Chain A
């Protein structure tokens, strides 16, 4: 959690899209930006990319207000995937409330996926987060490509860990909101345990997920008072 100000009645949460270079982390955020209702989220800030590669991070903010008037801001970040930007990854990972690990489904990328996941484990520990505790989902992206790891293999490897796994194609735009929705739900559970979102702020999990994952042209039931244009 980036910040929780009880006096000001606001909470800033952080979700991080982690994964190897060019696995589609930024594309995930772009798709969320395109697919989700403009109301309730801010603009996507893309910081200094170079040849399609993120060197700092991308940021997509979401806003919602609990019935208790608690203002919740959820900031979704990507990290640079390249090995050399490890220091930036550590800095972005600091105080994360949840991580989506975006793996590249291509067979040629198996090793880099594992290395990146190992790097995630190390860096979580480095910034004082427990990988057993932190909300975590895995997305196998680029399912539209050929020569990808089979679904059976993915289940065989990750099934026993109990970590939710999603298949997606960020370029085709499927599997993206599902990944995000599940991560948001897990993050809710995690925060609810400490800060009683439901009991103290009247915000239940379904509403929380629904508010953050409303797709464009779905009818908005509760208009967010903070919605605006960037």
Chain B
């Protein structure tokens, strides 16, 4: 029961009662009748204002002796509440008067007590009933509240789950952006080098062109003036070092086109890796996709590292090839970034029982079991703060599992690590 709730009762214990509330006709009438029977000419009860409430008159007879009126007060709670009026012969008036007064006061007293008890009882019962109703109302209210809460809880959980899913998706996208950024930095460096010497070569070629132009202008002028002399022409040729220029031009062009080829290859590798010109869904040759991934990582491969490709033939795999490259990228990059001297990364592909299996096995530092169990969790990283997002292998995990595949890792400290990916080949893909 809420204590702040106050209940106002209709009947306040202690409220005044008047004589009419207390005395009933059925109680009083016989008494008044008896008084008349006993010889009174008139018997009545008045309220405190003098208004007659109950009265009874006898048959008018010629009085044998003078008629006398008696008026006596009636009390409730000690206050005058009314009067009793009796008219009778002088001889009997006192007897009847006293008798009536005693009887009516007794009735008044006991009726008053009975009335108080009844009113109190009614109030208490009413109050208890009101309290029960109130309790019931509150119970229903709280039941509804909890039901609503239960309903909204389900909704809230769904909502939060959706929010988490979206946040995770957003993080995955961010991870892609981060790795693309890393990739772009490496690639930029790769492209910058050939581009540098190509630009430098073009500059040199510009100078060579002006030298040749000089020679040609000298020759044309000489022809126009008719002063063409073998010796003079020879001197000019020598001065402009045209023998060297012609030989160097050949080297410069060869070198520049080599550089351009390199840039072209890098761009094409990048395009291959990103599958930017392809449809989202394609049937991919996993071996080729691994190669594409390695190609864009060339700049990350230390000079003393060795990558052993142990490829086998198997069906094409229906997928988004860019996704798959991303998955391989994170595993290969991790291996390359272990800082192992004389790194040996063996990539084995194969097919058995409808599953394409790809394993990446390195001779790096490996990892203890507690780490091993957590590497696919989002935000888990062993790199310094700010260096790793902790999302790389989680992205790989998300991609592989989205194709119904599995990814496992076997590793022991100092014994390298082997990541094994298993991808189920669908019926449709096998027919191709």
Contact = CB atoms under 8 A, between A and B. Distances in A.
Contact-residue size bin, chain A (C-beta under 8 Å from the other chain): 20 to 34
Contacts of A226: 79-80
Given A3-B15, A12-B16, A56-B116, A94 B9 contact: yes
A45 interface: yes
**Most chain B beta-carbon neighbours within 10 Å: one of A59, A94, A122, A125:** A94
Contacts, number: 91
B6 A126 contact: yes
Given A47-B117, A57-B120, A94-B12, A87 B127 contact: yes
Interface string A10-38: 00101000000000000000000000000
Q: Most B CB atoms within 10 A — which of A12, A48, A91, A230?
A: A91
Interface string A40-55: 0111010110000000
A228 interface: yes
Contacts of B73: 228
B14 interface: yes
B95 interface: no
Contacts of B79: 42, 61, 63, 73, 226, 228
A198 interface: no
A85 B78 CA distance: 28
Contact of B78 (A41, A77, A122, A127): A41
A82 B78 CA distance: 29
B75 interface: yes
Given A126-B3, A127-B6, A228-B78, A2 B14 contact: yes
B13 interface: yes
Interface residues of B, number: 28
A57 B14 CA distance: 11
B78 A91 contact: no
A122 B13 contact: no
Contact of B75 (A2, A14, A75, A228): A228
Interface string A71-92: 0010101000000000110111
B153 to A, nearest CB: 34
B77 interface: yes
B62 to A, nearest CB: 38
B113 interface: yes
B305 interface: no
27 contacts: A2-B12, A2-B15, A3-B15, A43-B77, A43-B78, A47-B116, A48-B113, A56-B117, A56-B120, A57-B13, A57-B120, A61-B78, A61-B79, A63-B79, A75-B14, A91-B124, A91-B127, A94-B9, A95-B14, A122-B3, A125-B3, A126-B6, A128-B6, A228-B73, A228-B75, A228-B78, A228-B80
Interface of A: 2-3, 12, 14, 41-43, 45, 47-48, 56-57, 59, 61, 63, 73, 75, 77, 87-88, 90-92, 94-95, 122, 125-128, 226, 228-230
The 5 A-B residue pairs whose C-beta atoms are closest, nearest first, are A42-B78, A128-B6, A87-B124, A2-B14, A61-B77
Given A92-B120, A95-B12, 8 more contacts: A42-B75, A42-B79, A45-B113, A56-B120, A95-B14, A126-B7, A226-B80, A228-B79
